[in-house]
Structure 1
């Protein structure tokens, strides 16, 4: 069994394209911190906890060594949003050729969506993509920041990117096999309305 997936490729080609979001209220206790010590365990936790209900499956089979190798690549950074000390979401940046930086992954754990954290995290993380070479002097200055999102992602994903100043430059439509939505553990995910 399969389903149709539309994928949108979006980009910013100048630092001035970035439109930051309003920060969450101070009493919400949101802060964004770079995870500077590569930790496959933590990165896999973020990946499964954020992507479990939106069909992120491409890294589920990665062994520990592959996670370690990926996180050690120059210009790969993970920035984590915390709300009062609890991980709420993350944005992963990956340096590519000719000064292109990809937003490899971005999202929030289900319980933290709709709390004004996502736009702030995306804006902050995109700004870090633009100044990536300041932390990695061996890399070229950022000339372009790009991302792709698809119809399997959260319903507000594309609009959030566009509000931050990303523009669609390509669209593809493919048939993808149905996969079980694994979550960070079997049965995890948002509680359906009225199921309390």
Structure 2
């Protein structure tokens, strides 16, 4: 028996200058953006499943504790968390690459915080931190390019939010992949 296949479109986007960042016009909601300087595998995995569960983020679910710890120990990797009244609401993770490229490796909100105008502000904060990443990490080259990849499985506002914050499309790919059998961070997680 062959697993069901779905067609997934992936959009690759970039910014090439700090001036490309376009903050939202709306006032910022009540939130604090804090760098998780002592992030461990437990909290990183929590953010990954809480944000990505409904969008079929599954590639890191089989990771061991050691694999999470190794990922988080990479030089220059930063995780910025949005907090609303003491509650984690979402995150943006910055991954530096050679030659001054910084990738928005993961970005999103926990479902309870969707639709509150927070996503554009969190992404703007993450982009500003991507552009000044080398200032916090001696030895990293200055950021010359910020990239992000999103796909048709991500939230319906993802691509629009990236483009509204100043990202430009540079490549589109379409591929077949197995359909997820259990959406959400656990079975029956959607209300």
1:100, CA displacement in angstroms?
0.2
User: 18, 27, 38: which one pairs with 1:15?
Assistant: 18
1:35-184 paired onto structure 2 within 5 Å:
35-184=36-185
The TM-score normalised by the length of structure 2 is 0.95
In 1, Cα distance between the equivalents of 2:66 and 2:27? Answer: 37
User: 2, 5, 25: which one pairs with 2:5?
Assistant: 2
Say if 1:20 and 1:164, in contact at 8 Å, map to a contact too: yes
Say if 2:54 and 2:185, in contact at 8 Å, map to a contact too: no
Residues 178-187 or 32-41, more deviating: 178-187
1:184, CA displacement in angstroms?
2.7
The number of residues matched between the two structures is: 187
In 1, Cα distance between the equivalents of 2:185 and 2:42? Answer: 12
SS in 2 for 1:53: helix
Say if 1:31 and 1:81, in contact at 8 Å, map to a contact too: yes
Say if 1:11 and 1:167, in contact at 8 Å, map to a contact too: yes
In 1, Cα distance between the equivalents of 2:65 and 2:173? Answer: 32
Q: Which runs of 4+ in 1 moved over 6 A?
A: none
In 1, Cα distance between the equivalents of 2:131 and 2:188? Answer: 38
1:24 aligns with 2:28: yes
The TM-score normalised by the length of structure 1 is 0.93
In 2, Cα distance between the equivalents of 1:183 and 1:41? Answer: 18
1:179, CA displacement in angstroms?
1.5
SS in 1 for 2:184: coil
In 2, Cα distance between the equivalents of 1:5 and 1:41? Answer: 30
Superposed CA deviations along residues 1-59 of structure 1, whole A, max 9, x for unmatched, are 1000000000000111011124424xxx3111000003100000000000111000000
1:183, CA displacement in angstroms?
2.5
SS in 1 for 2:54: coil
Say if 2:55 and 2:183, in contact at 8 Å, map to a contact too: no
